[in-house]
């Protein structure tokens, strides 16, 4: 399992370790790892051009010491001194190694053509402007340097965290450096995993400097493939379809028949023992045609689910509508004593009538930013900007587990670390993929997983299937449709189990 920490937690651990080591040891460890990463990015260190963007903090010192190591190996290193001061020991070492400096203190970075040429010609640009303690928007000359690095052809390497990204939360106010590689020291910072900050990180390259024994329990984690494989429901020799988990699905309407097909498909292909589907006649007809494995029930307007049959979990909401009949149906499902996943139109109904979520059994909500905004009465843009904060707030205020969908999916439950999902592809941003995700999570709930584990594992498997559908099991590289994701689920699950 990948663990991640706030900047305060990292600095506390650093203080504990530094008290046991000679002065400067940690900075040299970090700089050595940083220099080694930079060397590995270059065809040859000798003769390469390296530019250091140096602020006043320890990240600037890391950059200076790393630059000195590279200069001693024959790189042409220039340090752009942009902070009020620079780390004296690192600056002295760089100069002894033959590195040069360009002092911006008191200068107008906008009006310096030599600066623009220097950055534009660099093979590697090290961003050591702001450290993990930085908060708020960048100021000049850092803003200009961030913009120049964004348009330069060289490789941008962030030192510990891209400047302008809040290391604890991933929040970004204004301009921020966009790195190709982020070399982070000691432990992963939570903000490097969560958008919008995560989109500035590039390839994340951790360097161990010995903090492990002094790190606390993490507030943010991410499951790896083996973690997910260990948690997934698995049939035993004596299993039957009922023991493997029966999931009930209430989804679709005469207008949104596809949501029903996709949600049921996600549950079927994710390995539910049995799927019971209940809806109006038209979506039932489509589900029967595409997924004959499902047991279907046609519901009359205003009818509840009491006659559908026993289930171990419900999926409620995709495409079901939001009228009075839909509200009555939602109340019928949410009065049950089994876990319920609420998605899409179910979330809209809950935002209008919060009493729907006042229940004793476990509840999992799977909103995107707009839906979570309606539940919390917060603009969706604010949710996107502070995803970690609002996922935690929703879980606490609503008394539920929250899977916040988006470019980085978060799973929050009160009293537990927030889990970040690290699989997926931008091609998932297409209609219907959320319905498939709801079906997957519903199957895992019915199989006996908690809301917390079902949501985390479903997001991971959903992302793997999407990458496979997009043609690249690592990143995904081509357009996909939602049904493609459902159809790839068995292969994704096989690969996950084989790699565990």
According to the annotation, is 58 in a ligand binding site?
yes
According to the annotation, is 259 in a ligand binding site?
yes
According to the annotation, is 348 in a ligand binding site?
no
According to the annotation, is 447 in a ligand binding site?
no
Q: What is the enclosing helix (H) or strand (E) of 206? A: strand 203-207
According to the annotation, is 254 in a ligand binding site?
no
According to the annotation, is 174 in a ligand binding site?
no
Count CB neighbours of 287 within 10 A: 27
Count CB neighbours of 96 within 10 A: 11
According to the annotation, is 368 in a ligand binding site?
yes
According to the annotation, is 407 in a ligand binding site?
yes
Reading the block at residue 431, the tokens are 């209609």
According to the annotation, is 434 in a ligand binding site?
yes
Count CB neighbours of 429 within 10 A: 12
Sign of CA dihedral 447, 449, 452, 454: negative
According to the annotation, is 406 in a ligand binding site?
yes
Cα separation, 234 vs 282, in Å, equals 34
According to the annotation, is 408 in a ligand binding site?
yes
According to the annotation, is 134 in a ligand binding site?
yes
According to the annotation, is 432 in a ligand binding site?
no
According to the annotation, is 180 in a ligand binding site?
no
Contacts of 110 (CB under 8 A, 6+ apart): 144
Cα separation, 6 vs 8, in Å, equals 5
Q: What does DSSP say about strands 274-279 and 340-342: parallel, antiparallel, or unpaired? A: unpaired
Query: In 219-338, which residue ranges form alpha helices assigned H by DSSP?
Result: 225-231, 257-269, 281-290, 324-334
Reading the block at residue 26, the tokens are 């940690």
- Which residues are 184's β-sheet partners? 206
According to the annotation, is 471 in a ligand binding site?
no
According to the annotation, is 75 in a ligand binding site?
no
According to the annotation, is 98 in a ligand binding site?
no
According to the annotation, is 460 in a ligand binding site?
no
According to the annotation, is 326 in a ligand binding site?
no
According to the annotation, is 133 in a ligand binding site?
yes
Q: What does DSSP say about strands 49-54 and 188-189: parallel, antiparallel, or unpaired? A: unpaired
According to the annotation, is 57 in a ligand binding site?
no
According to the annotation, is 405 in a ligand binding site?
yes
> Residues annotated as binding site?
58-62, 127, 131-137, 142, 160, 163, 259, 319, 368, 405-409, 434-435
> Residues annotated as binding site for AMP?
405-409, 434
> Residues annotated as binding site for K(+)?
59, 127, 163
> Residues annotated as binding site for (6S)-NADPHX?
58-62, 131-137, 142, 160, 259, 319, 368, 435
């Amino acid at each position: 399992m990948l663990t991640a920490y706030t900047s305060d937690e990292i600095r506390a651990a650093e203080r504990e370790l530094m008290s046991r080591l000679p002065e400067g040891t940690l900075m040299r460890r970090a700089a050595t790892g940083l220099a080694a990463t930079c060397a590995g990015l270059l065809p040859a260190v000798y003769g390469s051009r390296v530019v250091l963007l140096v602020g006043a903090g320890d990240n600037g010192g890391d950059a200076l010491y790393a630059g000195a190591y590279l200069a001693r190996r024959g790189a042409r290193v220039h340090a752009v001194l942009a902070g009020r001061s620079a780390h004296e020991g690192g600056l002295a070492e760089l100069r002894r190694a033959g590195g040069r400096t360009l002092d911006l203190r008191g200068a107008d970075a906008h009006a310096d053509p030599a600066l623009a040429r220097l950055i534009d010609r660099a093979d590697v640009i090290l961003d050591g402007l702001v450290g993990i303690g930085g908060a708020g928007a960048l100021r000049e000359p850092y803003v200009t340097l961030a913009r120049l690095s964004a348009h330069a052809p060289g490789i941008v390497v962030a030192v510990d965290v891209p400047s302008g990204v809040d290391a604890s939360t991933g929040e970004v106010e204004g301009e921020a450096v966009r790195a190709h590689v982020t070399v982070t020291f000691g432990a992963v910072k939570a903000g490097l995993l969560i958008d919008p900050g995560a989109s500035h990180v590039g390839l994340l390259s951790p360097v161990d400097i010995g903090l492990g024994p002094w790190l606390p329990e993490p507030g943010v984690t991410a499951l790896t493939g083996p973690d997910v494989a260990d948690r997934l429901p698995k049939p035993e020799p004596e299993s039957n379809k009922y023991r493997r988990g029966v999931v009930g699905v209430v989804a679709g309407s005469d207008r949104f028949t596809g949501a029903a097909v996709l949600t049921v498909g996600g549950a079927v292909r994710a390995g539910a023992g049995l799927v019971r589907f209940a809806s109006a006649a038209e979506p039932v007809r489509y589900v029967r045609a595409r997924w004959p494995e499902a047991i279907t029930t046609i519901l009359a307007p205003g009818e509840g689910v009491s006659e559908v049959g026993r289930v171990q979990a419900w999926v409620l909401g995709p495409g079901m509508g939001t009228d009075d009949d839909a509200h009555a149906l939602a109340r019928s499902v949410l009065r049950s004593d089994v876990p319920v996943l609420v998605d899409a139109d179910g979330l809209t109904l809950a935002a209008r009538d919060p009493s729907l979520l006042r229940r004793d059994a476990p509840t999992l909500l799977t909103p995107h930013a707009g839906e979570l905004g309606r539940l919390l009465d917060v603009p969706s843009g604010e949710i996107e900007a502070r995803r970690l904060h609002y996922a935690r707030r929703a879980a606490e205020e609503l008394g539920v587990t929250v899977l916040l969908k988006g470019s980085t999916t978060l799973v929050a439950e009160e009293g537990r670390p927030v889990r970040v999902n690290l699989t997926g592809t931008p091609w998932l941003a297409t209609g219907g993929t959320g319905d498939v995700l709801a079906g997957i999570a519903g199957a895992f709930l019915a199989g006996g997983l908690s809301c917390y584990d079902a949501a985390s594992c479903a997001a991971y498997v959903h992302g793997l299937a999407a990458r496979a559908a997009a043609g690249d099991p690592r990143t995904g590289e081509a357009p996909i449709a939602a049904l493609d994701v459902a159809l790839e689920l068995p292969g994704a699950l096989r690969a996950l189990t084989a790699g565990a």
